[in-house]
Amino acid sequence: MLSFNLTVEMILDNINDAVCVVDKDCITRFWNKRAEKLYGVTRKELLGKKITYFFPTALLPKVLKEGRPYENVYNSPRENYHNIITARPLYDGNELIGAISCDRDISELIRLTTLLDKTKLGLKVLEEEISILNENRFSFDQIVGSNINFIEVINLCRKVSKSKINVLIAGESGTGKEVFARAIHIESRRKGIFVPINCSAIPEELMESELFGYEGGAFTGALKKGRPGKFELANDGTLFLDEIGDMPLSMQPKILRVLEDGMITRVGGSKATKVDVRIIAATNKNLKKMMYDGLFRKDLYYRLNSILIKLPPLRERREDIPQLVNRFIKQFCITYRSNIPEIPSQVMEVLTNYDWEGNIRELKNIIERIVILVKNNDVKRIDMNFLPRSIIENSTVKREYKNEALDLNKIIENAEKKAILEAMEFSKGNKAKAAKLLNIPRSTLYFKLNKYHI
């Protein structure tokens, strides 16, 4: 009969993940066989030594320092090694006694992705993988937010997802209308696919053929076999009509007809086809005002507006910005194969207090820019220099902080004031002694004491 410890060791030696256990002093106490194979470091070499001796950027020291877990973090502990790591602190009651990490090797996946990007081969495989990833990426569970109003929006969307009712999503540009539309589709479990179309990007003369398809020879340049439209492609699935406010007036009654009887006819054809399509529309315009102004059909508006989802702009849920920043940094660090940098509180404060007129889309673009700059400059910390000047200048963060962070004269004055205060404290108020410590004339010290009201 094997002892309990040997049984546990045997189990851990036969799993696919690399497992490492350290004590509270970061000394390595366990290193399984998968870890030996993955990193080329034996137990004999590593046990009894600090994990940072072989892996300077290991996550475990940070877990011990902060006493909190990290889930699915990209890490590159050594050159040409890439993994996804989950690390947790170990407690005996309330006492921190160590930490454990499980590493999953993705080095081969990264090399394969790079090869596929260069050669354009295996497109079918990639499409299937992307389809699976999109289901995870666009589900409601992946939508970041803890703002009360935003959570209420998510809950409403979950409730209506499994129905066939049409949904209208309203919100400013960049608030994530398509993300919510995809999440509703995924939650609905409809058999068909999610088909998006941007109504503002299709010329009016091509809109009908794009939506309903066309028969062969229907017009000059048409394919001989014809082509299905978006409604046919979305059969048993979801059709997402983005920027519905830009739908031409001439097309609106035709859309209404499909919504009423579920029948479509291709351009140049005579046969009507039955389709089962769930419609989700989105707009950043005031459709109700457009309706009163005669720019949008009243009957179509009320048909689409069965359920109205209003997405709040990012400036109305500032508490969600740090979560989004951390999410995007992790995503782009994986994309660009970069270690995750530290985000100082001052930088996060500036990002949180910026109004983000472009909403989540603008924030995501800025974070991608920051990650690229961090990697190119080979630094481990995001400083203010990586932020665009427009964000720093237009952030509503306290002006005192802006001056201290960006005004060199203010930085020098603060340092000088701090040094004088420390010298006066050390000398117990003796100005002659304080001036000697500061290596300045006593008259200069008197001047600066008066200047800083000390």
Would you call 266 exposed, middle or buried from its count of C-beta atoms within 10 A (0-12, 13-18, 19+)?
A: buried
Q: Confidence class of residue 135 from pLDDT cuts 50, 70 and 90?
A: low
Across 164-194, b (16+ Cβ under 10 Å) vs e yields eebbbbbbbebbbbbbbbbbbbbbbebebeb
Rounded-to-integer distance, Cα 424 and Cα 198, Å: 68
Tokens matching residue 308: 């109205």
Tokens matching residue 79: 């050159």
- DSSP secondary structure letters along 328-340: HHHHHHHHTT-PP
Instruction: Check: CB of residue 197 under 8 Å from CB of residue 224.
Output: no
Rounded-to-integer distance, Cα 278 and Cα 164, Å: 6
Q: Between 11 and 172, whose confidence is greater?
A: 172
258-268 pLDDT, tens digit each: 999 999 999 88
pLDDT score at 132: 52
CA atoms within 13 A on the CB side of 346: 16
Q: Confidence class of residue 13 from pLDDT cuts 50, 70 and 90?
A: confident
pLDDT score at 29: 92
Q: Confidence class of residue 399 from pLDDT cuts 50, 70 and 90?
A: very low
In which residue ranges of the chain is CATH 1.10.8.60 found? 315-406
pLDDT score at 444: 83
Alpha-carbon 170 to chain mean position: 21
Write down the pTM of the prediction.
0.58
In which residue ranges of the chain is CATH 1.10.10 found? 408-451
Query: Residue 239: is its pLDDT beyond 70?
Result: yes
Query: Residue 246: is its pLDDT beyond 50?
Result: yes
142-166 mean pLDDT: 91
In which residue ranges of the chain is CATH 3.30.450.20 found? 4-106
Rounded-to-integer distance, Cα 250 and Cα 444, Å: 81
Query: Residue 403: is its pLDDT beyond 60?
Result: no
Report residue 224: phi and psi, to 5°: -60, -35
Query: Residue 381: is its pLDDT beyond 90?
Result: no
Question: CB under 8 Å to 421, separation ≥6 — which residues?
Answer: 454
pLDDT score at 126: 47
Q: Between 3.40.50.150, 2.40.50.100, 1.10.8.60, 3.90.550.60, what CATH number should domain 315-406 receive? A: 1.10.8.60
Instruction: Give percent above pLDDT 70 in the chain.
Output: 88
Tokens matching residue 230: 């978006």
pLDDT score at 114: 65
Query: Residue 398: is its pLDDT beyond 60?
Result: no
Q: Between 335 and 454, whose confidence is greater?
A: 335
For 4-106, CATH gives: 3.30.450.20
Rounded-to-integer distance, Cα 447 and Cα 454, Å: 10
Element (H, E) at 72: strand 70-75
In which residue ranges of the chain is CATH 3.40.50.300 found? 136-310
Tokens matching residue 226: 């014809």
| Helix, strand, coil % over all residues of the chain, rounded to 5 | 50, 15, 35
Query: Residue 17: is its pLDDT beyond 50?
Result: yes
End-to-end CA distance of the chain: 76
Rounded-to-integer distance, Cα 420 and Cα 333, Å: 43
Q: Confidence class of residue 136 from pLDDT cuts 50, 70 and 90?
A: low
Number of H helices, E strands in the chain: 21, 14
Across 196-235, b (16+ Cβ under 10 Å) vs e yields bbebeebeeeebbbbbbbbbeebeeebeeebbebbbbbbb
Query: Residue 51: is its pLDDT beyond 60?
Result: yes
Topology (CATH level 3) of domain 136-310? Rossmann fold (3.40.50)
Query: Residue 284: is its pLDDT beyond 50?
Result: yes
Tokens matching residue 379: 């630094």
Q: Which CATH architecture has domain 408-451?
A: Orthogonal Bundle (1.10)
Rounded-to-integer distance, Cα 12 and Cα 441, Å: 69
Q: Between 136 and 166, whose confidence is greater?
A: 166
Element (H, E) at 206: helix 204-212
